[in-house]
Amino acid sequence: MDLPVDEWKSYILQKWSLLPKSTQVTICTAETLSDIFLHSSSLLQPEDEMFLKRLSRGYFVGKDPNIPIFYREEGNKKFQEKDYMGATVLYSKGVSHSRPNTEDISLCYANRSAALFRLGQYEACLKDITRAQMHGYPERLQPKMMLRKAQCLVTLGRLQEASQIVSDLESDFTAKQALAASQFQIPQSTLCHLKMKVQEKETLTETSPAALTNAFEDMNLREENEQVSGASSSVSLCMDPLKGRCLIATKDIPPGELLVKEDAFVCVLNPGEMPPLHCGLESKWDTRVTNGDLYCHRCLKHTLATVPCDGCSYAKYCSQECMQQAWDLYHSIECPLGGLLLTLGVFCHIALRSTLLARFEDGGKVIRQLCGEISNKDICLPESKNLVQTLSSHLGGEGEKNGKTAEPPIPGCDINGKYEKNYTAVLHLVPHTKNHSPEYKFLCALSVSALCRQLEAASLQVLTTSLKCSQAKAAVVPGRCEELHIWGVAMLRHMLQLQCNAQAITTVQQIEPKENIITESRQVRLATGIFPVVSLLNHSCSPNTSVSFMSTVAAIRASQQIGKGQEILHCYGPHKSRMGVAERQQKLRSQYFFDCNCLACRNEKHRAAVGPRWAAFRCNSCRELMQGDDVLSCSGASCTESASRDHLVSRLQDVQQQVGMAQKLLGSGKLERAIQLLLGCQRDAESFLSTEHSVVGEIEDGLAQAYAALGDWQKSATHLQKSLRVVEVRHGPSSVEMGHELFKLAQIFFNGFAVPEALNTIQKAEKVLLVHYGPWNEEIQELQKMKSCLLDLPPSPVAPSV
């Protein structure tokens, strides 16, 4: 999803292979990004554009007046089944396909308000009622909705407003009848009861806006760095001749300290794993739910009640405010290009959005002048003096060049040496132009130039007008073509930068299967963004920090003690607990163009023969670990056992397949069968896998879930403790993975009323999670609630009755 869809990729690769050798050479040897772009885009033919257009039509992003009623009916079905969450999402889909100020949209909003009411989301329910009214909700249906509004207000304790509505309704004859039918009245005792319920609800609902604000305030840096905005004063920006820019600790840093807090310069929501829909009405009317339906396309907040863009069915937001901001900043230009942007992938989309955002900095001068300079002179060496001078003279303004010939020591910094999260910093991220394959550059250049032509056709008018307005002072206004050329070059540069500098924005999603009482959580990738300050961190396969996100803000915390003078390191993806040294090195070389020489890699290279314990096989007869490459032999002193790797791997795959089947059985509530299957896997695994093998952990985890669902807390806890040991060996005792696992164990003890064990585990889980997420993490909040609940119990609790 980062790159263009496969059809376009293979189309361009074929086009490349058919180019005359001389043309290929011209592009390969082009000195600057500007030349690469110029040569490539001159090869984009009308038939190529037609092909791309056909692909784009596979994504239906417009509004279709026939669709809302379909989604409304599907939503009603879910509502009948009491699946209010499912109903809400389907009504949202109906809303996003309706045109503004139609009966359709008002009906969808009204139905959604009913589902939200059932979910206890009263504030959201009230907003939807207002929206339904705004878009012309039919008069005849009003009383029922007003009744709901009154109930909401009562539940929220806004009694005066509620009684106003009730008295309004009472003065209306038809409403009176509706009221009589529903026997709606608010005696004092009901009110008290409802109010108590509200308080209960408030603690249960997800993150309330107030809690989120608190969380942001709490996420403040102890003291902000004077040199790097968004970084803590405990680090400083340095230039290393080999590694380039890096952050170094200026004092001893304790685990959990916040080192960087940075809002993305730009980010684009990942549409989610969903293939494009190829024609046919039934597939267009799609009831599948993706992240695109659940998260705000601007601020990434989780939202059930989304507000759609008025012009397309694709962009959805948490609020009217987010919609307006997105529209003003970039969506007014992106809106008509939705299908094309989905076809060209997230990187292309980010490239476009970055340049759109650059218009607002310094009136667009940055992109025009700076990018022109960069692309014409020295694209490959952005660290060079030439560029730095360009930059400093540019940013220093006219009158300030006198006196000291200030030469900022570090690229991306302004004349005073300050590094900020702005477009200048983004432009200075290294694009590695020389390292990318010619085919990849050709693909990026043609994608960008196709996008440029669409921009020209669709909205250049808007674009240039807004540019001209905001940069009235600029001496020269380049002609249209030149302007677009600069935009194209800038976008191409961003696309090439993204391979190494894109940061995945992730969130922890909690999955609660119906039969299950333990919350399972998994990390999902929500969006891709550019964070100029986070980009200053170099990679380690065993980093000393951990990153988490709240909305579009990245927080980097020390995950362990960091000594003064040590470098602050962050993992680009290949982590030592996920893959072996060879695989990591290969990944880092092909994606990031460097040979990793981190401590973990150096250590592992020395003891390559024995792999990590979480992937190790063991001897069938003496239980010692096996070692070797193609043929493994027992490491036991007096044992001569050996086995081929292929054989062991195929046995492992068998077990994995069965574990997968067991997980499916668990999901569908067939607990006994799942347990039988998992116990079989356990026996099998014991004969050839190390006790800390990750698959052994999965088996134990599955058994823990199954017993929890059966209400056998003791057995569940025993199995989860075994799984915990595997996680500890693989990820370390203070890893975030360990935190999630301890959270699960705490839930099991809590549900089983094992008070001392629960309190003990809660404390451990809190300690670990606090380091990685800070105090406002959902799981930590949950743990604190469990703790206070346990401490409030009478001194000698009744024996568990499960």
Q: Which residues bind Zn ion (CB under 5 A)?
A: 296, 298-299, 301, 309, 311-312, 315, 318, 322, 335, 541, 596, 598, 601, 619, 622, 624, 634, 636, 639, 641
Nearer to Zn ion, 321 or 654 (CB): 321
**Helix H or strand E segment including 522:** strand 520-530
Extract the tokens encoding 698. 């999965």
Nearer to Zn ion, 568 or 780 (CB): 568
Nearer to Zn ion, 315 or 675 (CB): 315
CB of 598 to Zn ion, least distance (A): 3
Residue 419 pairs in a beta bridge with 228, 413
In single-letter form, the type of residue at position 771 comes to: V
Q: Give just the sign of the alpha carbon dihedral 697, 701, 704, 706.
A: negative
CB of 411 to Zn ion, least distance (A): 25
CB of 771 to Zn ion, least distance (A): 22
Extract the tokens encoding 514. 């119906």
CB of 310 to Zn ion, least distance (A): 7
Reference 498, options 452, 444, 451, 438; nearest CA is 444
Residues whose CB is less than 8 angstroms from the CB of residue 621 and which lie 6 or more positions away in sequence, other chains included: 634, 639, 641
Looking at residue 275, the DSSP 8-state letter turns out to be P
- In angstroms, the CA 522 to CA 743 distance is 13
Reference 694, options 611, 766, 600; nearest CA is 611
Extract the tokens encoding 408. 């900022």
CB of 543 to Zn ion, least distance (A): 10
How do 569-570 and 538-539 pair as beta strands? parallel
CB of 323 to Zn ion, least distance (A): 8
CB of 156 to Zn ion, least distance (A): 22
Q: Is 721 helix (H, G, I), strand (E, B) or coil?
A: helix
CB of 209 to Zn ion, least distance (A): 11
CB of 519 to Zn ion, least distance (A): 25
Nearer to Zn ion, 318 or 452 (CB): 318
CB of 265 to Zn ion, least distance (A): 17
> Euclidean distance between the first and final Cα of the chain, in Å?
47
Residues whose CB is less than 8 angstroms from the CB of residue 668 and which lie 6 or more positions away in sequence, other chains included: none
CB of 165 to Zn ion, least distance (A): 29
Instruction: Tell me the residue ranges of DSSP E strands in 551-666.
Output: 553-558, 569-570, 626-627, 631-634, 642-644
R_g of the chain, CA atoms, integer Å? 30
Residue 266 pairs in a beta bridge with 530
Do 695 and 656 contact (CB within 8 A), yes or no?
A: yes
CB of 544 to Zn ion, least distance (A): 13
How does DSSP assign 419-432, residue by residue? B-SSHHHHHTS---
Q: Give just the sign of the alpha carbon dihedral 573, 340, 322, 461.
A: positive
Nearer to Zn ion, 450 or 619 (CB): 619
Nearer to Zn ion, 305 or 366 (CB): 305
Q: Give just the sign of the alpha carbon dihedral 71, 76, 81, 84.
A: positive
Nearer to Zn ion, 199 or 597 (CB): 597
Do 665 and 673 contact (CB within 8 A), yes or no?
A: yes
How does DSSP assign 552-580, residue by residue? TEEEEEESS-B-TTPBPEE--S--TTTS-
Nearer to Zn ion, 624 or 684 (CB): 624
Reference 743, options 697, 703, 783; nearest CA is 783
Nearer to Zn ion, 264 or 703 (CB): 264
Nearer to Zn ion, 5 or 335 (CB): 335
Maximal C-alpha separation, the chain: 95
CB of 527 to Zn ion, least distance (A): 12
Nearer to Zn ion, 21 or 606 (CB): 606
Nearer to Zn ion, 567 or 624 (CB): 624
Extract the tokens encoding 184. 């709606």
CB of 211 to Zn ion, least distance (A): 16
Q: Is 300 helix (H, G, I), strand (E, B) or coil?
A: coil
CB of 458 to Zn ion, least distance (A): 12
Nearer to Zn ion, 313 or 433 (CB): 313
Extract the tokens encoding 1. 């999803």
CB of 318 to Zn ion, least distance (A): 3
Total number of residues shown for the chain: 802
- Of all residues in the chain, what percent are helix, strand and coil, respectively (each to 5)? 55, 10, 35
- In angstroms, the CA 549 to CA 779 distance is 14
- In angstroms, the CA 438 to CA 13 distance is 10
In single-letter form, the type of residue at position 250 comes to: T
Q: Is 741 helix (H, G, I), strand (E, B) or coil?
A: helix
Q: Give just the sign of the alpha carbon dihedral 568, 571, 576, 581.
A: negative
Nearer to Zn ion, 380 or 622 (CB): 622
Residue 156 pairs in a beta bridge with none
Nearer to Zn ion, 294 or 413 (CB): 294
- Angle between the N-to-C axes of helices 438-470 and 33-41, in degrees from 0 to 180, rounded to the nearest 10: 100
Do 768 and 744 contact (CB within 8 A), yes or no?
A: no
CB of 602 to Zn ion, least distance (A): 8
Nearer to Zn ion, 234 or 538 (CB): 538
Nearer to Zn ion, 462 or 511 (CB): 462
Nearer to Zn ion, 438 or 636 (CB): 636
- In angstroms, the CA 681 to CA 688 distance is 11
How does DSSP assign 639-658, residue by residue? ---EEEHHHHHHHHHHHHHH
CB of 272 to Zn ion, least distance (A): 17
